[in-house]
A and B are shown apart, each in its own frame.
Chain A
């Protein structure tokens, strides 16, 4: 080998030196960049350092979702508030200043025009429709003719829930935080749920106008007590029998300050509950044990963005649910203005297997 070739000339030395320095510089810059790149969490924190974090509860474990959507119906009128199922599974939707009756397929039928916004709704076994306006109840024939207007119990009354049985009509009055019991002619015959230490009744806490009730097949009333995050069972005479529910943002509890906001009952005594804030519809067993999710927060994107309004009317948020004779759950989204028809997924084991067979008599008299 020629020794002269082993000697590095100045030009070559400089060429390699500059090249190496350039590479080092680029490498260093990349390393610095990577080192100082904020983590996704840090980037989020920087973007909104005072964020109110609910993301952990906005996604539902897919294993817990036991229902699938099989249909969707647009509310016939704007500003829907409540939904009820009739004796032949007709859909009754209270929206705007109307009660609209739709057939099983969602085709529009009778439209009943009202003088004011309906706040709650119940359909009796004979198809008679009971409508709660803000401070009084009205009764309509299933063809749409008004047959009675009941006297208002008082100026502070704010009806938000109705249930009708064979001989009784129960109205949840959020303004006075109690349930009023009427006979079918409109005569007031009882007041249920007023705070009474001797009867061990703690009283209803209703911070916002969401207060609902149902008549269960065991002959007891089921009433939401949103401020206590539970459902309470009362006899028709007003004795508190039992209660269940707990406050929690977790899926098995009721989130926020005041939930559940509405209630429906499956034919076997299980409950369908609706919540606001984290809009979700869930099923609880007859003993109050959490069972499954009908639809989680991720299913109600627009609803999840909605929040309280200036007048605390409660019109801009929330969900309502009703159950038909086949055990399908109809979920009314007050913000999106539509009804989602949810059916229990096939292949699941559990108490609701009966629902899939059909033939179960409808839950007459339950508004939702």
Chain B
């Protein structure tokens, strides 16, 4: 019996390339999974606006890198007074309390007014129309309960490392929040 071991065949170029491609593919998949896993951990953060610091300027409308800002007006219905004369909806001195364009404060008519029962009206934000100018937020906070306020909507925000709005925000209202708590909402006091 011949005990002499056979010499191993040299690795062919084809096998070398095939193996290399496999290793590269596995590394890539691993890296991708690692990135995705990292995004979902509690360490990741998002931009958000602190409603208590927001000065209701128009920087959210004019400074966002997106053509239509990722910042939108949101409405805390639990705080809302359902006023017939909503100062977030109407100009300071409207001709009449109806939905005519000249009476509305919003430049894009992004607030919908719906009769509930005398004398209460419900106000709903049509987010695709909202440009984040905060005009309604100022009106609501100036006279009313402040149920309208600004928030970064994460379905639009691209989460820039350096947020263009945060850089110029006069109230320093932008801050990083954990992904697990992406919004800073107003609450009812009583």
Our verdict on whether A and B bind, yes or no, reads yes
Binding site for B on A (CB under 8 A): 48-54, 57, 134, 158, 175, 205, 207-209, 227-229, 247-250, 255-259, 276-277, 307-313
- For A53, list chain B residues within 8 Å (CB): 92
Q: Which residue in A50, A134, A250, A308 is a CB contact (below 8 Å) of B107?
A: A50
In the complex where A50-B61, A50-B107, A205-B119 touch, is A276 in contact with B143 (Cβ < 8 A)? yes
Docked-complex contact B86 and A52, CB < 8 angstroms: no
Could you tell me the distance in whole angstroms from the C-beta of B184 to the nearest C-beta in chain A? Answer: 10
- For A247, list chain B residues within 8 Å (CB): 85
Name A's interface SS.
loop
Per the 8 Å Cβ criterion, residues 113-131 of B in contact with A are 119
* In the assembled complex, B182 has its CB within 8 A of some CB on chain A: no
- For A205, list chain B residues within 8 Å (CB): 81, 83-84, 119
Docked-complex contact B189 and A52, CB < 8 angstroms: no
Docked-complex contact B141 and A307, CB < 8 angstroms: yes
Per the 8 Å Cβ criterion, residues 58-72 of B in contact with A are 58, 61-62
Q: How far is the CA of A49 from the CA of B86 in the complex (A)?
A: 22
Q: Which residue in A52, A208, A249, A307 is a CB contact (below 8 Å) of B93?
A: A249
In the complex where A49-B58, A257-B83 touch, is A249 in contact with B145 (Cβ < 8 A)? no
Docked-complex contact A311 and B93, CB < 8 angstroms: no
Name B's interface SS.
loop
User: Among A208, A309, A310, which residue has the most Cβ atoms of chain B within 10 A?
Assistant: A310
- For B146, list chain A residues within 8 Å (CB): 307-310, 312
Q: Name the CB-closest residue of B to A208.
A: B145
Q: Name the CB-closest residue of A to B83.
A: A257
In the A-B complex, the 4 residue pairs with the closest CB atoms: A207-B81, A311-B189, A308-B146, A256-B143
Q: Name the CB-closest residue of B to A253.
A: B93
User: Among B82, B83, B186, B188, which residue has the most Cβ atoms of chain A within 10 A?
Assistant: B83
Q: How far is the CA of A132 from the CA of B92 in the complex (A)?
A: 33
Docked-complex contact A307 and B142, CB < 8 angstroms: yes
In the complex where A53-B92, A227-B81, A250-B93 touch, is A257 in contact with B188 (Cβ < 8 A)? no
User: Among A54, A249, A258, A312, which residue has the most Cβ atoms of chain B within 10 A?
Assistant: A312
**Per-position binary interface string of chain B over residues 74-99, scored 1 when its CB falls under 8 Å from any chain A CB and 0 otherwise:** 00000101111111000011000000
- For A49, list chain B residues within 8 Å (CB): 58, 62, 133
Q: How far is the CA of A29 from the CA of B57 in the complex (A)?
A: 35
In the complex where A207-B81, A248-B93 touch, is A258 in contact with B189 (Cβ < 8 A)? no
Q: How far is the CA of A250 from the CA of B92 in the complex (A)?
A: 10
Q: Which residue in A52, A57, A248, A257 is a CB contact (below 8 Å) of B135?
A: A52
**Per-position binary interface string of chain B over residues 10-31, scored 1 when its CB falls under 8 Å from any chain A CB and 0 otherwise:** 0000000000000000000000
Could you tell me the distance in whole angstroms from the C-beta of B137 to the nearest C-beta in chain A? Answer: 9
Q: Pick 19 A–B contacts, CB within 8 A, sort by A.
A: A49-B58, A51-B58, A52-B92, A57-B92, A175-B190, A247-B85, A256-B143, A257-B86, A258-B143, A258-B144, A277-B143, A308-B144, A310-B186, A311-B187, A311-B188, A312-B146, A312-B147, A312-B190, A313-B190
